[in-house]
Amino acid sequence: MSGLKERIAAELEAGRARSLAYTDVDDEVLVRQHSPIMSPLVWDLAHVGNYEELWVLREAGGLTPLRPEIDEMYDAFAHPRGERPALPLLRPDEARAYIAGVRGRVLDVLDAADLSRPDPLCSQGLVFGLVMQHEHQHDETMLATLQLCGLPGLVRDGDLPAGRPAGAAEVLVPAGPFTAGTGTLPWAYDNERPAHRVDLPAYWIDRFPVTCGAYAAFLDDGGYEDPRWWSPGGWEWRVRREVRAPLFWTREAGAWWRTRFGRPEPVPAEEPVQHVSWFEADAYARWAGRRLPTEAEWEKACGWDPHAGRARAYPWGDAEPGPRHANLGHRASRPAPVGAFPSGASPCGAEQMIGEVWEWTSSCFLPYPGFRAFPYRQYSEVFFGDHYRVLRGGSWATHPSAVRTTFRNWDLPHRRQIFAGLRCARPAAPGEA
């Protein structure tokens, strides 16, 4: 097996190990819907196998379908999440057997595949990259479901490096063009393509994500009670939903507490805030006298190397993420304190842009100039428009193989079950630039 095939096999195994670990719980936990905006865990488990069967076994391998009768049940567009508990879903033992059978055949297809042929679906292992990233994305969704579940003891924790004094609060990104998107990263999605030039004026961006301590100051200043800081849609949402703090936060005896995977704990001031919606992130930025960055501003600050005149795959360079660079892959079930990863700094000096929390941007999810849907419209194209806001950077729960400088995530502006936070930006004054 070639080096690329060995890497693909290892990445597929890593994703499957996570899926099985997050579903190694009582069947009652797997089949129950813990929130109307999330699927039962057992649906996610079988869905990753069905997606793998559709794209690797049928599309790339040309094999006879294993379970065509379940395709519609595990089609994410056929049934909203709220309907899925009523479907005749595979039971946990059936789901595990099904995905194991699919995986064995997938490895056979991989072993026989010619990854050098010009077929765009198979070239450089793209179809395997798609299913690998897809499973890791569902693994992160499973973690969000387990957080909503509220039962302690289901999710492992771990150790993280300590933070360090913050130093400069913001960094300057000089004016000028940069290359956004990619035309070279082999497993990039269609919405990251094609590479194109974007010219930006100078701006400042936060060196670190906004911390829980900084966000608590917004709360304590009455930020959730003052409509001045909120967009009209955000204020209507906040009032209607009676939102008074980030999801899972409560005020007790004059201090802020949070519930993390079923266990209450004091809110740690130096961690990046998470579980905030775009509405909340936008309101905080206004209160702070700043704004959310556009996704182009975020991407330039993350990966553009002005000295080399090119974009990096990651803030620190093109080397794949390692333990010194970023908090990724569920090292622990929380963000690391700010300043924990100086080796992961971007060329402009911004830190922790990959990992920790998904960061909301001000941008709607729209296609790049010259966009072409591939290999199917439903991954990106059907979501384009002004309904969804772009998030960047990945979270502590994101696997290293499923994130990069150009990666674009998106969600509805009121969603906050995801591991999302923010950093702020502002225009550079003429004398500053």
- The per-residue pLDDT for range 230-285, each reduced to its tens digit, is 999 999 999 999 999 999 999 999 999 999 999 999 999 999 999 999 999 999 99
d(CA 301, CA 389): 19
d(CA 160, CA 157): 10
Query: What count of residues does the chain have?
Result: 433
- Dig out the tokens for 384 from the structure: 């384009």
The three-state (H, E, C) secondary structure of 15-52, written as one string:
HHHHHHHHCCCCHHHHHCCCCCCCCCHHHHHHHHHHHH
Q: What is the pLDDT of residue 1?
A: 55
Q: Output the pTM of the full model.
A: 0.97
Tens digit of pLDDT for each residue in 81-112? Answer: 999 999 999 999 999 999 999 999 999 999 99
Among 4, 416, 1, 403, smallest CA distance to 249 is for 416
Does 166 score more than 80 pLDDT?
Answer: no
Q: Which residue type does 256 have?
A: W
Asked if 319 and 199 count as a contact pair (C-beta separation under 8 A), the reply is no
Among 35, 92, 91, 147, smallest CA distance to 419 is for 147
d(CA 25, CA 19): 11
Distant-in-sequence, close-in-space partners of 385: CB < 8 Å, separation ≥ 6: 364, 365, 366
d(CA 305, CA 301): 9
Tens digit of pLDDT for each residue in 170-216? Answer: 999 999 999 999 999 999 999 999 999 999 999 999 999 999 999 99
The backbone torsions φ and ψ at residue 98, rounded to the nearest 5 degrees and listed phi first, read -65, -50
What are the Cα distances from residue 81, in Å, to 36, 86, 222, 421? 7, 10, 35, 24
Count of Cβ atoms closer than 10 Å to residue 20 Cβ: 14
